[in-house]
Every structure is written in structure tokens, then in C-alpha cells.
Chains A and B, each alone.
Chain A
Amino acid sequence: MYSQGLIGAEDNVEETPEFLEEFQARIDREEKIEPNDPMPSAYRKTLIRQIGQHAHSEIVGMLPEGNWITRAPTLRRKAALLAKVQDEGGHGLYLYAAAETLGVSREQMTEELLSGKAKYSSIFNYPTPTWADIGAIGWLVDGAAIMNQVPLCRCSFGPYARAMVRVCKEESFHQRQGYELMMTLAEGSPEQREMAQDALNRWWWPSLMMFGPHDSDSTNSDQSMKWKIKRFTNDELRQKFVDATVPQAERIGLTMPDPELKWNADKNDGEGGYDFGSIDWDEFWRVVKGGGPMNVDRLAARKKAWDDGAWVREAALAHAQKRRDRAEASKVAAE
């Protein structure tokens, strides 16, 4: 039921130097590229990969937070968390739809996720053992996602850019909600404070890893910048995130788990910014390659949902076919 008509997207554009030059000129003029426009196959592939990964991240991201819906401490928090997790699923849906305009079906993308071929954000391969993790995810993970996604609202590919406008509005609400949750814990009992600090300790470094490898080690960056899929480099975005987040932690009396963190007035062309310690890239690559604490569980949960739901999807297809057959039969009978 997912294989929507592939809209002739596998166009065989002859990528002559003139074509490539004109395509780049359109990008440089800040024109949006739309699904039916001719585009270089590498541009299409890059976007399918990126939007697909983004969609998968939203879907897998429902799991760590979903882990606390039934145990949320108050009805208000429960309702907010349900709404949030539902929003993430909704983002997944728009993003799959945006990727479909490039000629790939949601079913194909789902198969790639379940087979382990397609990636999703590594951050979701960390567990949520305590309620404070819900606050930390909203504050830090959604906060980092916003840094990445706000520039995507100006991405050269129209459907992705437009999807991001709505996604960013919702993420920004989630980020404030997460911060407010952390603030409540930080202002609470010693136990609650400790829970909040512990969550910050566990999520801070993985949040910094969300921006990807250093610019010097990032394989996809240059071309994506040229095509205006990306507007800022990984390291630029990471720095913005650190600069925005450190004062937020200070305001609620939590301590960043980084002894090397310090204000540097010369940073950011003299505007000032924070120097911070080195990221553990071994841990980053370990989680990317499947060795994080929850990689196996996350994929197993998605696969179980998909496999257990197969009979439901088959039934929906069979029923739709029966209805079509009956409508056809009654039309014939009427003639």
C-alpha cells in the first residue's frame, strides 16, 4: 500500500557540462529545485539518502521517548510526551513523502532501514533509563536537531525545505518543553537534581556527536554545501549549539560534563564562544557501526512492529481490492 506511483523521477538526464553548469547557476540564484526538474543523479541520490536518514531518525526516535509514555509522572507530562512522540512520527511521515517525490517509495526506504542498510541518527542508540532522559532529549537532542534543521528550511530542494519549516516549529516547541522539564527537576529535590545532572552527563557528548565528524573528516560536506543542501559545516553548527546551550545549563544550575569547557572571548571572530574538550570519535564510530548500547534493540523493535503488522497491511490491501472488485461488478451489472 505504500508504493505510490513513482513519478518518472528516474529521469535519465544527460549530465553535460552545460547542464551541470546551468543547474549550479540555478542553485546559486537561490532557485528551489522541484521534483520534476531535471537534476544530476548525484544530487538526487544525496537527497534520497539524507531525507531518508532524517525520516528514519524520526521514526526510530519515537522509541526512546515512547519508553516513558506509560510511566510519565503526571497526566500533564504524559499528554505532552504523547503529543511529542506523535509529532516525531508526523515528521517521519512528511519526510518520507518528501523523499518519495525523488522516486523512492516509503516501502523501499523502510526495507533499507530494517535491513540495516540505511542509517538513522546515532543519538537514538542510547537508552532512556530515567525520566530525566525525556527532558535531556527534548532540550539537547531536539536542540541540536534544530541547529541542523533551521538552515535546511533554505535547502535548495523545495519539498525538503518546506517540510523543514513545519518540523522546525514543532521541534522548537519540544526543545522548550524539554528544557522546562529539566528546569523543574533541577529546582526539585536532591534526587531530582541528581537525576537531571546524570541525564545531562550521559547526553551531552552524544548530542555534540549529532553534528557528525569534524569538517576535515566529513566526506559528504563539500558537495552538499555547493548544492546548498547544507548551509553550514558540521563544526560551525556544533559550535553554535555549544554556545547556545552552555548558558542554558548554567541558568538552571547544571554542570556540563566537560572540564575543558571555557569561555574564549576571541572565538567566533571576536564575538566570543566556548572552547570545549575533544569528542570521543571512537565512541562515535562504534555507535555508527552498530555497536551502541541500543542499536540492536532499536532495529529489533522496528522489525518486530513491521513483521507483526504484516497481516494488518495485507488485510487492508485485500479489502481495498475486494471493494474495487465489487464496485466494478455492480457497475457492470448496472450497464
Chain B
Amino acid sequence: MATNADFANTLIALADDHLILGHRLSQWCGHAPMLEEDLSMPNMALDLIGQARNLYSYACILEGSGRSEDDLAFLRSDREYKNCLMVERPNGDFAHTILRELYFAAFMHPYWEAAQSSADKTICGYAQKAEKEIAYHIRHCGEWVIRLGDGTKESAERMRKAVTALHPYTEELFTITPAHQACIDAGLLPDLATLKSAWSMTISTIFKDAFLEIPEIAFPQEGGRDGRHTEDFGHLLSELQFMQRAYPGQKW
């Protein structure tokens, strides 16, 4: 049986994915390759941060501990963030950023589809809205992966490098923690194992048009769901948490 703590902790991990990826995307704002992308990067970041806020807020209610969305977002130590490692990877070039977003969106789309039949009505509601938003991320990023993969020699090479660099991090999306398993058993959240085929289908369809190959992964990279992060993560947190740490306990 899933306890409220199991449910809350699983939602917090998912919210962490969204917050951290939103943070990374937002770093492009004003620095993108063209004005349209200066608009779409913050647009996608806003979707992700909006979803993170919903999930954190609901987790706070489930916890009943009096914590707020901002306590969760800004006032935990690095080990307490349970996002998967992929979302915290530095942006790299545009090919890396777009591919990372595609990998994540291709995972979240079937997730939100399945979550619409959750036994929890709040999750059903979030899922209906989020599914529409994330479908756009797949479309937008998928189109870019195809353009770059089937563009110039340089763009194709950069796209291949991005696949090599990021694919080892995709496995962790499907990691099921004991708390998550309890939520699956209680019909609260989707069984991640059932999402794999939809994810693979989205990626392989796009890769085919982009002339990209799905690499064999010898050594998957994971650890984020257990709070073991990469070296870049501390730097990300120092920026994200700066105001709350420098001026504790104030209203903004």
C-alpha cells in the first residue's frame, strides 16, 4: 500500500526533473540561435516550471508538513533532489539541449497519457493539461532533431555527438524506486515499464528521419533518483538557491 510519503516523494522526484530541466532551458533565453528560439526556450521552460509547481504543491499537501513549493524548490541539500541525471547535464550546444528535451518529452508524453487514468483525481487533472503542453515539446524538438540531423555536415556531426553524450542517461528515466512501485500498485501513478515502448517508438521514428542511430549503451549513467548527482549540479543549485540562501526567511 502506498503511503502519503511514498506518493509525495515520487511526485517530488518528478517535480525535480521538471524544475531542473526548466532551469537549464531558461539559460538559453536571450542567447538562442534565432529569435524564434529565444521565445520557444522560455516557453518550454515555463511549461516545465509550471508543472513542477503543481507537483510540489500537491506533494506538500500530501505530506501535511507545512512545507511550501518554494521550500522544496530552493531549500533542500543536493542529496535531497531526486531528479534524473539527464536533466541536470549542462546545456552544451543547441543540438544537446534540443535532444535532451526530446528525450524527456518523449518520456513524459506517455506518462501523462497514462496518468489520466490515475486513481487520484488531482493527478488526472494535471495530466490532462500537461499532456497537451508536452506534445508540443516533442513536436518542436523532434523537428529540430530532424533539421539538424538532416541539415549540414556540421549539424549532423553535432547531432550524433549529442546522441552519444546523452543516450546513456535515458535509462534512468525508467528507474522505479520502491516508493514509485507502491504508487504503481495503488493505481496512483503510471508503471514506467509500460512507457518504454512508446518512448522508443517516438525516438526511433524521429531518428529515422534525422539519419541518426540509436546507440547501444554499455554503461548507463544513473544515480539522481537516489540523490547522487553530477559535479555540475552543485553549481546549478548555487544559482537556483542563491536568493533563498543569502536572505533566509523573507517574503519575495
Contact = CB atoms under 8 A, between A and B. Distances in A.
B81 to A, nearest CB: 15
Contacts of A89: 29-30, 35, 38-39, 42
Interface in A200-234: none
A82 B29 contact: yes
Contacts of B225: none
B167 interface: no
Contacts of B70: 74-75
Contacts of A71: 239-240, 242-243
Given A75-B73, A83-B46, A184-B252, A319 B147 contact: yes
A299 to B, nearest CB: 13
Interface stretch (A24-32, A138-146, A255-263, A308-316): A308-316
A311 B46 contact: no
Given A188-B251, A305-B30, A72 B243 contact: yes
Interface in A127-147: 131
Nearest to B247: A191
B49 A192 contact: no
Interface stretch (A5-13, A42-50, A58-66): A58-66
Centre residue among A89, A191, A192 by max chain B CB count within 10 A: A89
B154 A315 contact: yes
Contacts, number: 142
B56 to A, nearest CB: 8
Nearest to A316: B147
Interface stretch (A90-98, A149-157, A163-171, A237-245): A90-98
B152 A315 contact: yes
Given A71-B240, A73-B243, A82-B45, A315 B155 contact: yes
Interface in B195-252: 239-240, 242-244, 247, 250-252
A77 B29 contact: no
A85 B146 CA distance: 28
B23 interface: yes
A20 interface: no
A62 B240 CA distance: 19
A330 interface: no
Contacts of A301: 30-31
Interface of B: 19, 23, 26-27, 29-39, 42-43, 45-46, 49-50, 52-53, 56, 69-70, 73-74, 93-94, 146-148, 150-152, 154-155, 158, 239-240, 242-244, 247, 250-252
Given A70-B26, A312-B155, 13 more contacts: A62-B38, A73-B252, A75-B69, A184-B252, A189-B247, A192-B247, A305-B32, A306-B33, A311-B152, A312-B37, A315-B152, A318-B155, A319-B148
Interface of A: 1, 59, 62-63, 66, 69-79, 82-83, 85-86, 89-90, 92-93, 96, 106, 131, 184-185, 188-189, 191-192, 301, 304-306, 308-316, 318-319, 322
